[in-house]
Amino acid sequence: MEQKIKVTEDEQTLSASMQGFEDINSDADIPGNNHLSNPEEENILEKIQAALEEQKDKYIRLFAEFDNYKRRSAKERIELIQTAGKEVITSLLDVLDDSERAEKQLQTSNDLEQIKKGIELVFGKLRNILQAKGLKAMESINTDFDVEKHEAITEIPAPTETLKDKVIDEVQKGYYLNDKIIRFAKVVVGK
C-alpha cells in the first residue's frame, strides 16, 4: 500500500514565494559584497575605509611613540641609578683626602693628642657632609622599643623598672635619609 503525501495549498504558496525571493535577491544585494549598485553607497564606503586607514595610522604612530617613551624612560632610569651616588661620592672625596693625610700623620707623628684631634676633625667632616645630604642618626637609647624602627638583638633584665620594654643599648645605629628609615637600629631591650 502506497502512502500518498498530500501537499497543502499553503505549502505550495510558500514554496512559490521562496522561489520568487531567490530570484529577486541577486549578488549585488548581499551584504558584504563589493558590487554596490549605488554610487553614493560606494562613496560612503570609500570614506569609511579612508577614515579607518587614518585611525590605523594614528594608532600605529601612537603605539610607536609610547614604545619609544618606555625605552627612553628605562634608559634614563638606568642612567639615574648608575649616577645616583655620584654627588655623594664627590662630596666624600674631601673626607677621603683628609683620611689619607691623617694616616700619614699616624705613621710619622708621635704626638697622640694632635693625631686624636686630626681624626676627630675627619669624622666631624664626614658627619657634616652626610647630614647635609639628608642623613640623620636615629636616637634609640632609653626610648620605647618600636618594631617599626628597631631590630631587637637580645633581651636582658632591665636594671630598673622604668627601663622595661625600652632600648637599653644600641649595637648598631639606625639612620634616616630625608625622614625615611634606611637602616633599622639593632638594639638590646630590657625585659
Reported as a single tens digit per residue, the pLDDT across 13-38 is: 445 544 544 444 444 444 555 554 68
Average pLDDT, the chain: 83
Q: By three-state DSSP, how is residue 8 classified? A: coil
Q: Give, as one character, the DSSP assignment of residue 166.
A: B
The answer to whether residues 130 and 163 touch, using CB atoms and an 8 Å cutoff, is: no
HSE-CB for 94 with a 13 A CA cutoff: 13
Provide the whole-model pTM: 0.55
Could you say which architecture CATH assigns to the domain 135-191?
A: Roll (2.30)
For 62-68, what is the mean pLDDT?
95
> What is the residue extent of each domain of the chain?
37-83, 135-191
CA 40 to chain centre: 53
Rounded average pLDDT over 55-64: 95
Query: Looking at residue 7, what is its pLDDT?
Result: 46
How would residue 118 be classed by pLDDT, with cut points 50, 70 and 90? confident
| Identity at 61, one-letter amino acid code | R
Q: In whole angstroms, what is the distance from residue 151 CA to residue 187 CA?
A: 6
Count of alpha carbons within 13 angstroms of residue 83, beta-carbon side: 6
